[in-house]
Structure 1
Amino acid sequence: MFDFWTGAEDLPVYGYVIRAAIVYIYVFVLIKVLGQRTIGNIHPLDFLFGVIIGDVLGEPLADGDTELAGPFAAAALIGGTHLFLSYLALKTPRFRRIIEDEPLVLIENGQILHKELRKAKITMESLLMDLRLNSAVDLNEVDYAVLESSGQISVIKKSQYDSLSPNDIGQYPQSKGYPTVLIQDGHVIDTNLNKVRDRTWLYEQLQRHGLNDPSECFFLTLDNSGSVYLCPYTNENEKQNA
């Protein structure tokens, strides 16, 4: 009856399905306990954790003979160790330097540091690509370029090439804050609407944009400055498929 947990040489298909569901939920809970992390710039410690966890918990999904208790215990130990190391790095600067690379300056005062490029094993082609991704096509505009611990290159332009901000020209616009979603997929989010406006205001905004009902609106937001963004359904098919 509990072959899906203890394992069996002739484990039926439903046993693998149950195992997959259990492992998925277990990994999901484990990740939630460890805390939210960014995927785009994965830290080496997180990468190591992911590889080991994938190997430990992946084996019972492929081998029906393996009991789940052992891999689950191993995964819990690895997760606890990972959490402890992350906490230690947060609280202890000296230990943080061991597991996190220091930022490396690649361009200083507009001059490319060849020795640092070789140290970071970065070619000029890779450096130029990252500069283009940071809207720094002209090297004459670059003051500093820094290889961050995340592996990304951040760029600081020379002051004369920085974009003007409202503060530079003596303007102090109201903060827009975080936009509040009021309509999504044609449905009014009453919890958000009650915090900022009422239904009367909402219908006024819809009519101002040529709409009669929230079901005709795909997305609508309101920010702290009172600016409204409204996106209607572009055609009847999209409305029906929502």
Structure 2
Amino acid sequence: MASIFLRTVLIYFFLSVALKLMGKRQIGELEVGELVSTLLISEIAAIPIDDPDLPLLNAVIPILFILSAEILLSAIKNHSAKLKHLIEGDPVYIIYKGKIRQQVLEDNRISINELLSELRVLGIADISEVYYAILEQSGKLSVTLRADCQPITKQALTEEREPGIAHLIVVDREVNETNLRALGYDRVWLNRVLAQHGVRLPEVYLLTVDDLGSTSLVKKEEKNA
């Protein structure tokens, strides 16, 4: 009994340190790869606790391998937008300018009842109040309400058009072709915007455009030699 208790305590502290090194968030915010790694680590950690005859290294070594692989993959994804897109996908519009995108719901295996439930959790009882609903990579729903359903501000009193959100056009030098086409823009427009900002595509860290056509650009920082 004492051996099992000691093993449990050691595994607990080892996992606490390992997960802290992974820098992860709450379970509901984990990406698919992160969730798989967490589940694998928890299963492997239980093996030496269930079988006291097995050495602790039988769990420590595989956990260290998974931890190293997760940290390495995260670093690679941060330097490769294409790989990040391949593994995690992109945020998708469930509701776009007040219109429910039914095909997107089907593609993501989300029923209308599930969508309504998620909106109620966010305090939205009427789906017609939603102007944008975006399904993030983490599976969470981000919502922007129509102008007439938002809290009244001085700006809202003078604003005649619907509020826009910042649509991602370029992220870390990679062009989001899906958003570019969905918003009715093309590479010619993009090149013109870059010229207006006096930059080339390899110099762009972030470029967004709202529904009013206003762009915001952040240049990529140069690494110190």
Q: TM-score, normalised by structure 2?
A: 0.65
Q: Distance in 2 between matches of 1:168 and 1:125?
A: 31
1:21 aligns to what SS in structure 2? helix
- Percent same amino acid among aligned pairs? 25
Q: CA 1:94–1:75 in 2, change beyond 3 Å: closer, same or farther? A: same
Q: Which residue identity lines up with residue 91 of structure 1 in the other structure?
A: H
2:148 aligns to what SS in structure 1? helix
Unaligned runs of 5+ in 1: 1-12, 171-242
Alignment check: 8 A CA contact 2:91 2:135 kept: yes
Whose Rg is larger? 1
Q: Distance in 2 between matches of 1:23 and 1:140?
A: 50
User: After TM superposition, where is structure 1 displaced by more than 3 Å over at least 4 residues in a row?
Assistant: 165-170
Alignment check: 8 A CA contact 2:88 2:137 kept: yes
1:58 matches 2:46: yes
Superposition deviation, residue 103 in structure 1? 1.1
Q: Deviations over 1:31-55 (max 9, x none)?
A: 2222242333222122111111112
Alignment check: 8 A CA contact 2:24 2:30 kept: no
Equivalent of 2:117 in 118, 126, 129: 129
Partner of 2:138: 150
Partner of 1:39: 27
Q: Deviations over 1:183-212 (max 9, x none)?
A: xxxxxxxxxxxxxxxxxxxxxxxxxxxxxx
1:136 aligns to what SS in structure 2? coil
Q: Which residue identity lines up with residue 124 of structure 2 in the other structure?
A: A
Q: Distance in 1 between matches of 2:155 and 2:26?
A: 32
Superposition deviation, residue 168 in structure 1? 5.3
Q: CA RMSD in A?
A: 1.9
Alignment check: 8 A CA contact 1:131 1:137 kept: yes
Superposition deviation, residue 130 in structure 1? 1.2
Q: Distance in 2 between matches of 1:152 and 1:54?
A: 24
Question: How many residue pairs were aligned?
Answer: 158
Alignment check: 8 A CA contact 1:134 1:154 kept: no
Superposition deviation, residue 160 in structure 1? 2.1
